[in-house]
Structure 1
């Protein structure tokens, strides 16, 4: 009986096939992997936040991860820009590049596309792994099934609080009761993705740590803004009563003043009245709170998406285009980091389980490119074609993203030049003599013209070469234009420019052309329309 070869996981440890089909980090009602947790953001103070961030660096990440999750739930702006950054990668269709040009590599690449990318769980897994952008790291567990192939049936997200870091804070381990540093993750069972936003400890690389202070101060500002609006947002309601008012009348007036803020209506005796007076002391205070909240939103935008132009303000098209380029750079970095994690923990393991270890593995990537300015490309073509530059139509269509029309397609475009519907370029000038030579037997006059053209075409340069070379040599040796003129004059006087051979050739050709022109037409037009 053949023995199944031992495969190694991404960390070099042997893969235990019997554990691949079992859920290892599923949530449980009891123990360290409970599906619910308390709150941290409620009543958060600067002192408490500093303690949470310090403990996370030392290994106690539970409160920090809870805070990171609550920040996405409580701050709409942070949730929006973080979601935008995730979708910039998750919305792109991934591609698979074979390891080499062999048919076997192509077969393996097709397997990756069919059994990984084209599965219902794939898109959700990508979004779950991008949760590392906020928290610093994210984990998905691979649930394998075996049959004809080893293929994942799901890759569910696992709460990052189910994992702990080792003593060096660099290796992730599975949390277990009674084990402060947890236990090793089974090879081939988990996809571990770290954001890679900054160098250093993975837990310090999440965006939540970067924007936590802005979110905290913004919460204070919004709370104060709400209190300010409650106090100064409504005019002062002042009730007046006369000297003859009884205590019952005064109580009635007090109740009316207190209730008019919400009821906007009151019934009073004729001798009483209510006045509304503005509060000038609070004028301009609302702008202060709003400016501070907007400033903090701008800082969050810069931290998450690298710019503010497309999220907070939009001054000009030129600035927006520059900032859009920054977003492309951020998305490309996120896609590259995600590709490293998925290829290491999923693609390579799937290939090893089904095809054995390979010298070159397929590479899965998310191609994120900046949108091309097609208007500028068209303008360049229009400017360069009149100068003689030639372009392949296929290249232009590819850059514009337009397909070649089929024969039965209805098309728009300028009519093709007469005589050639496929090639509008003029025919080369030297094609005529060859065409005339081919018809020499049918038309003696055309054959004569062809002979003249062919002789001039092949021999004239040899006749003119000595004279042209002499002129070029004189130009190369001349010091200035006046010197060149003197040198050319000496060439003419000294016979250095021998044009007699060229003159003889032109005379013979002219004589032959005249003779052909005077020759009678062998087949005159009977209608006289020639």
Structure 2
């Protein structure tokens, strides 16, 4: 069997990579059947299990964590939600550089990812969220002439322990103290909810207390409902009733339903007695169980809105969804780091030899601007000169290029074809002001078909009057402003304005010139019309 060099340059035998070493066997220390420490669990036993795990014997703790996930509906749901939110994210490959060799390495990794070996294993790798770590045995096999992981096999954490020397090194349960793991045969994913020893960093260690007290509450609630959710049956018999008659009466009342029944001597009559104020007691159980559920949601998902209907409306839901996305992004980053360090580098090294740089994978959504914001921004910036390749826009918006002969919807609206270097039309606001003299020249010298319109004449006269009047008015405004700035109070301001000798002569002259020009323009238009009719 051939040998390989790992990414650190160490020699690894192919036989050691291809043999399975962590399978379970009945009668061995790796028993495939688990115990159930959650049966009849008490606070004392819970504390003992957690203390033993912290001291290097985690088997009972791993069994308890699995029991909780099986028995608690809410905990199982939120943990599965957190796992699946990451397991379904896209996986991308980035080459170490643009060189041909690095691109070849990335292509090999991409082809392996396309086989969905990694995708099928992400959910099991994320079992570390609850228990602190997960162990996947790698089944290395030749595929298409390359040494690649054919399968990542989940191995229960019960089959592993920790080295007593450091409390962190994972050992295979074998013999008395365990054996070191075979090199490159296992992917150990550590997913810590807090800093410290791996065995004490899983969320199951924190959630187990909430689960136990919630289990007590639900059990008490069930007993309450069984005893007081239905009326108590009381059978009454007479003084002279025989034992046989009493037996008949007892079978009658106990056969109705449940165990809350009794018999009393009084003419063998049965009454149904309701328990008062049971609604308040039932509400207490429900509120306590809901509180524990909300605490578990905060622990696992960081919020409660995505699992429970709470007040606050859409805004609160959006904020809580952002919290969940932050946790999802962090989970994906930790998982990507584990796969890059323990799998991707060896995939390249086993097939191409040790490298200075290796490709990397990234699990997660691309950090892109939301599609609506992107479309709005581009529609505003495109008229200002921003350009982009059509293929990029189609890829970004998920719109494929149309096939030949396809019926098209949308597209650019047809516009008039450009004619040489004709400048674009200028709006009226951008047009330079025309003098009244030029307007009169146009009226008398141009033909009737080419003369300026009456609207142009009116615009020119209005602009001329506006300029003449503005100069006259500005003189008066300056005098009033000076008086107001020098005044000490309102009375003084009124007196100063009254003393001003404002002359309206300038404004009167401007108005007179405007009226005269308008009269002349009208006469000129009349003369032009008469000439046109004579021709």
TM-score after normalising by structure 2:
0.70
Corresponding residue of 2:136 = 140
Offset at residue 396 of structure 1 (A): 6.0
Corresponding residue of 1:220 = 216
How has the CA–CA distance of structure 1 residues 229 and 397 changed in structure 2, closer, same or farther, with 3 Å as cutoff?
same
Picking from 350, 363, 366, the partner of 2:360 is 363
How has the CA–CA distance of structure 1 residues 202 and 419 changed in structure 2, closer, same or farther, with 3 Å as cutoff?
same
Q: For 1:56-455, list aligned pairs within 5 A.
A: 56-114=53-111, 116-119=112-115, 121-146=117-142, 148-166=145-163, 167-178=165-176, 180=177, 182-241=178-237, 245-261=241-257, 272-315=268-311, 316-368=313-365, 373-375=370-372, 384=380, 394=390, 399-406=396-403, 408-413=405-410, 416-419=413-416, 431-432=421-422
How has the CA–CA distance of structure 1 residues 99 and 275 changed in structure 2, closer, same or farther, with 3 Å as cutoff?
same
d(CA) in 2 for partners of 1:339 and 1:40?
Answer: 34
| Counterpart contact for 1:14–1:187, Cα < 8 Å | no
How has the CA–CA distance of structure 1 residues 284 and 380 changed in structure 2, closer, same or farther, with 3 Å as cutoff?
farther
d(CA) in 1 for partners of 2:239 and 2:42?
Answer: 52
d(CA) in 2 for partners of 1:360 and 1:415?
Answer: 47
SS at match of 1:260: coil
Offset at residue 303 of structure 1 (A): 0.7
d(CA) in 1 for partners of 2:359 and 2:91?
Answer: 13
| Counterpart contact for 1:328–1:369, Cα < 8 Å | no
d(CA) in 2 for partners of 1:213 and 1:13?
Answer: 45
Q: For 1:455-470, list aligned pairs within 5 A.
A: none
Picking from 18, 35, 40, the partner of 1:38 is 35
**C-alpha deviations, 1:222-275, integer Å up to 9, x for none?**
110101111111012233445665544443222211111269xxxxxxx75432
SS at match of 1:284: helix
d(CA) in 1 for partners of 2:34 and 2:307?
Answer: 32
Offset at residue 403 of structure 1 (A): 3.7
SS at match of 1:169: coil
How has the CA–CA distance of structure 1 residues 336 and 385 changed in structure 2, closer, same or farther, with 3 Å as cutoff?
closer
The unaligned stretches of length 5 or more in structure 1 are 264-270, 421-426, 435-480, 483-530
How has the CA–CA distance of structure 1 residues 85 and 386 changed in structure 2, closer, same or farther, with 3 Å as cutoff?
closer
How has the CA–CA distance of structure 1 residues 140 and 9 changed in structure 2, closer, same or farther, with 3 Å as cutoff?
farther
SS at match of 1:142: strand
Structure with greater Cα Rg: 2
Of 190-199 and 367-376, more deviation after overlay is shown by 367-376
How has the CA–CA distance of structure 1 residues 244 and 28 changed in structure 2, closer, same or farther, with 3 Å as cutoff?
closer
Corresponding residue of 2:460 = none
d(CA) in 2 for partners of 1:312 and 1:213?
Answer: 21
d(CA) in 2 for partners of 1:78 and 1:261?
Answer: 34
d(CA) in 2 for partners of 1:78 and 1:163?
Answer: 24
**C-alpha deviations, 1:91-146, integer Å up to 9, x for none?**
123111111111211111111122x3133543332222111111111111112224
d(CA) in 2 for partners of 1:8 and 1:381?
Answer: 48
d(CA) in 2 for partners of 1:342 and 1:158?
Answer: 17
SS at match of 1:138: strand
| Counterpart contact for 2:90–2:365, Cα < 8 Å | no
| Counterpart contact for 1:109–1:362, Cα < 8 Å | yes
d(CA) in 2 for partners of 1:212 and 1:327?
Answer: 22
How has the CA–CA distance of structure 1 residues 399 and 322 changed in structure 2, closer, same or farther, with 3 Å as cutoff?
farther
**C-alpha deviations, 1:336-380, integer Å up to 9, x for none?**
111111111111111111001112111011123589654555566
How has the CA–CA distance of structure 1 residues 389 and 220 changed in structure 2, closer, same or farther, with 3 Å as cutoff?
farther
| Counterpart contact for 1:328–1:368, Cα < 8 Å | no
SS at match of 2:36: coil
d(CA) in 2 for partners of 1:413 and 1:433?
Answer: 29
Offset at residue 7 of structure 1 (A): 2.4
TM-score after normalising by structure 1:
0.71
SS at match of 1:15: strand
Offset at residue 282 of structure 1 (A): 2.9
Q: CA RMSD in A?
A: 3.2
The unaligned stretches of length 5 or more in structure 2 are 260-266, 425-476, 479-535
| Counterpart contact for 2:7–2:353, Cα < 8 Å | no
**C-alpha deviations, 1:274-300, integer Å up to 9, x for none?**
322211143311111111111111111
Of 286-295 and 273-282, more deviation after overlay is shown by 273-282
Corresponding residue of 2:484 = none
